[in-house]
């Protein structure tokens, strides 16, 4: 009953007509079809164009004959929309998109027997609920993808403005005078996506325990409304709602932004850019939301052999380590944490390898709050979408 309820809920956030029977699972990998189309977060699929030291596409293409075409997406909602078009093979989906793709029939179960390196995946990720789902209700969960990278949403800040690292997310949620003597109004940003409601809920979970929030993605009506009120307060401070990583980088460089939730990717780029403002990041006292991304395969992948070849390729330690160094993320393969020249042996610890249990990973909010008797109703994702649009619009 719970599985059926989740299916019906998720269907409501997807266009009609998407839920469809999935093709039979592949049993062997043949020769590549000559092409591979991937939807990915910016910086996730590099071929050396930005920096020749970071290239995990060229060798794959040479080995397989599969020419990689990359479509970048700035939000999970954009990824879901692109996958609905049905012209892509793979997507690097975060947890707030993966279940929508699974229950919407947009991705297919993966045959782990065709992924020889599966055993090298971090055990904390192998059966994670954002890609391991019993869709058919037979009591056995299927895997709907291969873990790729993970990490926290960090608080990025300008060290000229903050000579000492801020300890709380309050610098982006509450009006205050910053250490440089100026107000934070008009100098901070917030993420342009409904999942940002979870950041507000995470903040309230720490500072307003009387609300009873235990999961920032499972909010009853009162908890949800409290998060919206905090976001309306934040709106008075926000100079821009960001979703494009490179626009945020420009805003910190040229538009006087001094603090925002961000990804380690932007932090790394700014720290490596000559002439950029001095930037650092911190994991505040309230903890943080985060992302654990899974490479998922479209149910009607036009190049399934190339897709399976990439799923295996994506787990090689060199790629995993180079990507973690480039993006500031944590590899899905722990073996990548040692012996990688770009990441260094300290890189995984720096990027948060030991903070896994403290991160509230993105997931799709649904009506079921997760209680055993299903007596409590939580606010589903479709209402997160409409209400967050209203907040940004000043309502």
- Residue 350 has a pLDDT of 87
Domain identity same for 266 and 374: yes
CA distances from 204 to 66, 215, 259, 387 (A): 48, 11, 19, 18
Q: Do residue 138 and residue 215 come from a single domain? A: no
Give yes or no: residues 262 and 377 share one domain: yes
Number of domains comprising the chain: 2
Cα 175 to Cα 185, 186, 188: the distances in Å are: 6, 10, 10
Q: How far apart are CA 274 and CA 253, in angstroms?
A: 11
Q: What per-residue confidence (pLDDT) applies to 10? A: 46
Q: Is residue 285 located within the same domain as residue 159?
A: yes
- Check whether residue 302 and residue 340 sit in a common domain: yes
Give the model's confidence band at 373: pLDDT under 50 very low, under 70 low, under 90 confident, else very high. low
Instruction: Say what the pLDDT of residue 18 is.
Output: 37
Count of C-beta atoms within a 10 Å radius of residue 30: 10
Residues 228 and 330 placed together within one structural domain of the fold: no
Q: Which domain holds residue 232?
A: 153-289+365-392
Over the stretch 266-296, which tens digit does the pLDDT of each residue have?
998 999 899 999 999 999 999 999 999 999 9
Do 111 and 208 lie in a common domain?
no
So what's the pLDDT on residue 24?
76
**pLDDT value at residue 39:** 98
What is the structure's pLDDT at 5?
41
Enumerate helices (H) and strands (E) in the chain, giving the number of each.
14, 14
Phi, psi of 262 (to 5 degrees): -160, 180
pLDDT grade for 8, boundaries at 50, 70 and 90: very low
Q: Are residues 238 and 296 in the same domain?
A: no
Could you give the percent of the chain with pLDDT greater than 70?
A: 93
Which band of pLDDT confidence, cut at 50, 70 and 90, is reported for residue 366? confident
Question: Do 40 and 110 have their domain in common?
Answer: yes
Verify that 229 and 129 share a domain, yes or no: no
| pLDDT tier, 394 (very low <50, low <70, confident <90, very high otherwise) | confident
Q: Note whether 162 and 104 are same-domain residues.
A: no
pLDDT computed for residue 369 by the predictor: 86
- pTM here? 0.85
For residues 288 and 196, give the distance between their C-alpha atoms in angstroms, rounded to a whole number.
11
CATH number of the CATH domain containing 234: 3.40.190.10
Q: How far is CA 205 from the centre of its chain?
A: 21
Q: Which of 130, 200, 124 is nearest to 391 (CA)?
A: 200
Mean pLDDT score, 361-369: 89
Place of tokens 């001095």: 278
**Other CB atoms within 10 Å distance of the CB of residue 29:** 17
Same domain, 195 and 256: yes
Tens of pLDDT, residues 310-358: 999 999 999 999 999 999 999 999 999 999 999 999 999 989 899 899 8
| Whether the Cβ atoms of residue 194 and residue 381 lie closer than 8 Å to each other | yes
> pLDDT per residue over 97-149, tens digit each?
998 999 999 999 999 999 999 999 999 999 999 999 998 888 999 999 999 99
Query: What's the pLDDT tens digit per position in 182-224?
Result: 999 999 999 999 999 999 999 999 999 999 999 999 999 999 9
d(CA 210, CA 172): 22
């Amino acid at each position: 009953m719970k599985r059926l309820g989740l299916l019906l809920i998720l269907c409501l956030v997807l266009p009609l007509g998407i839920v469809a029977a999935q093709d039979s699972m592949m049993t062997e990998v043949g020769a590549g079809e000559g092409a591979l189309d991937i939807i990915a977060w910016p910086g996730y699929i590099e071929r050396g164009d930005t920096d020749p030291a970071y290239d995990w596409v060229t060798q794959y293409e040479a080995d397989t004959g599969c020419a990689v075409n990359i479509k970048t997406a700035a939000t999970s909602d954009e990824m879901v929309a692109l996958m609905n078009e049905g012209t892509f093979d793979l997507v690097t989906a975060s947890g707030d998109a993966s279940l929508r793709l699974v229950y919407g029939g947009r991705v297919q179960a993966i045959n782990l027997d065709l992924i020889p390196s599966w055993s090298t995946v971090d055990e904390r990720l192998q059966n994670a609920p954002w890609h391991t789902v019993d869709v058919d209700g037979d009591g056995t969960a299927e895997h709907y993808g291969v873990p790729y990278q993970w990490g926290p949403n960090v608080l990025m800040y300008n060290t000229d403005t903050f000579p000492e690292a801020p300890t709380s997310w309050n610098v982006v949620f509450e009006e205050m005078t910053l250490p440089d003597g100026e107000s934070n109004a008009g100098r901070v940003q917030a993420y342009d996506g409904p999942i940002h409601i979870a950041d507000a809920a995470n903040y309230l979970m720490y500072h307003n325990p009387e609300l009873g929030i235990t999961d920032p993605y499972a909010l009853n009506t009162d908890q949800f409304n409290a998060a919206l009120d905090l976001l309306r307060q934040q709106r008075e401070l926000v100079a821009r709602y960001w979703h494009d990583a490179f626009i945020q980088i420009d805003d910190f460089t040229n538009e006087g932004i001094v603090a925002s939730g961000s990804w380690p990717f932007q932090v790394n780029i700014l720290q490596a850019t000559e002439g950029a403002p001095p930037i650092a990041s911190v994991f505040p006292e309230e903890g943080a939301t985060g992302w654990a991304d899974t490479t998922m395969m479209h149910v009607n992948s036009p190049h399934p052999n190339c897709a399976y070849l990439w799923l295996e390729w994506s787990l090689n330690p060199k790629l995993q380590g180079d990507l973690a160094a480039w993006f500031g993320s944590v590899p899905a393969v722990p073996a990548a944490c040692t012996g990688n020249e770009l990441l260094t042996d300290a890189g995984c610890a720096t990027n948060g390898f030991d903070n896994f249990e403290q991160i509230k990973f993105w997931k799709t909010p649904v009506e079921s709050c997760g209680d055993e008797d299903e007596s409590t109703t939580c606010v589903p994702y479709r209402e997160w979408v409409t209400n967050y649009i209203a907040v940004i619009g000043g309502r």
